[in-house]
Structure 1
Amino acid sequence: MQAARGTSLSDTGPSPSTPPPGAATRYRLIFAVVAVVAYAIDVATKSLAVEKLSTADVELAGKWLVLHLTRNPGAAFSTGTEFTLLLSGIALAAAVVVLYFARRVGNRTWAWALGLLLGGVCGNLTDRILREPGPLRGHVVDFLMVPNWPVFNIADICINVAAGLILIQAVRGIGVDGTRVAAREREA
């Protein structure tokens, strides 16, 4: 059915799965700001932890949240402690992959996810590069301790929140560029 002079009633303009014009620049800016802020907070809190927690723990919320300094040569849950050099290489590769995908970011949630992921990966990578026992073998500073969980840091929080956001976007079928997977399949 047509409304007037060949215009379809179902034609509502640009597809809702297509990002608005100029949005890509805005999303890349969000990505960059989130990455820099996440990285800065991680580095600053680790520096404070090393400076202030070397002699004693600090209970912030009783036993529910304790600031406890530890250094982790491995990955999550202190796994792979003998593979610090390999973990550094994986972190470098992950940072490059995130930067590659960030060029195409076309959605606010993806911008946040990739920004948090890059900030977290680079925060822990900085420890691996700059901290003892040496470049690419350095131990990651962890200082947040909750009951029945390994000690962690802000970078770990950023990485896990990013993983959650990425899973949400995958379930919703929204690609990094902001288009829905179903819309791309129809166009193909």
Structure 2
Amino acid sequence: MNTERGDDSVEQETASADQVTEQPQAPRQAVLMILAAVLVYILDLVTKVIIVSTMAGHEPIKLLGGLFYLQLIRNSGAAYSMGSGMTWVFTIIAAAVVVAMVWILPRLRSVGWAIGLGFVLAGALGNLTDRVFRAPGGFQGHVVDFISAFAPNAEKFPVFNFADAGITIGAVFIIVTALLGRDYNGTSTRKAKKVAE
């Protein structure tokens, strides 16, 4: 009897030791979100640097038969040039979005949400970077927009950048995933509704 108890205690100690040495690994969805955010953020940052250095004072450049036009626009408003004059408000909102994403990150278990949130995070960070580091400064920097769809000078559609596109595409991913009944933590919202009923 004593020998069996001794064996049990040894096994318990070994199991507890294994638990201490094992490090929790980030879920693959969290890694996917970070990768999506990094890729879109770098794309947004690099294209803005190129546009600022090459397009200042130039006329719009026609692309794909007029589907898009490249031109440098300094935007003090929100995405797609909305809400000009409220730069500081959008700076606070963008910062809040980044904080919310960091909170969600360890709880993320859905691929659709991971991609969507990664794109939204990149968009928020991309435009927040402009507001912090670009003129006139003081968290009121103007965002660099440079893509005008269908016509130049925002005649058909507001001028935007890859950060704005990331926010829009990310939102679509999130909405579609939610409509398919999947929450960000991997649970099925449809099952939850059936249980409630």
Same fold (TM over 0.5): yes
TM-score with structure 1 setting the length: 0.83
SS of equivalent residue, structure 1 residue 82: coil
Residue of structure 2 equivalent to 1:113? 116
Using the size of structure 2 for normalisation, the TM-score is: 0.79
Match of 1:87 in 2: 90
User: Does residue 185 of structure 2 align to residue 182 of structure 1?
Assistant: no
2:65 is aligned with what amino acid? G
Q: Percent identity?
A: 37
The alignment covers a number of residue pairs equal to 167
Q: How far apart are the structure 2 equivalents of 1:146 and 1:177?
A: 36
Once the two structures are superposed, residues 80-106 of structure 1 have per-residue CA deviations (whole angstroms, 9 ceiling, x without a partner) of 212111110011001111221222111
Could you tell me which residue of structure 1 aligns to residue 101 of structure 2?
Answer: 98
Match of residue 76 from structure 2: 73
- 2:28, 2:87 → 1: CA distance? 37
CA distance in 1, matches of 2:26, 2:193: 21
Distance 1:135 1:49, change over 3 A: same
1:96-152 Cα distance to aligned partner (Å, 9 max, x none): 112212221111111101110101110000000000001310000000111210110
- Structure 1: which amino acid aligns with 2:161? N
Q: What RMSD over aligned residues (CA atoms) do the two structures have, in Å?
A: 1.9
* TM superposition shift of 1:78: 2.4
AA aligned to 1:52 is T
Structure with greater Cα Rg:
2
Q: Which string of whole-angstrom CA distances, capped at 9 and with x for unpartnered residues, describes residues 155-184 of structure 1?
A: 011000011111111211210011111334
Aligned to 1:126: 129
| Conservation of the 8 A alpha-carbon contact between 1:24 and 1:105 | no
- Gapped runs of 5+ residues in structure 1? 1-21
Which 4+ stretches in 1 moved above 4 angstroms? 185-188
Deviation for aligned residue 1:52: 1.0
Gaps of 5+ in 2: 1-23, 151-155
Equivalent position amino acid for 1:88 in 2: T
Corresponding residue SS for 1:62? helix
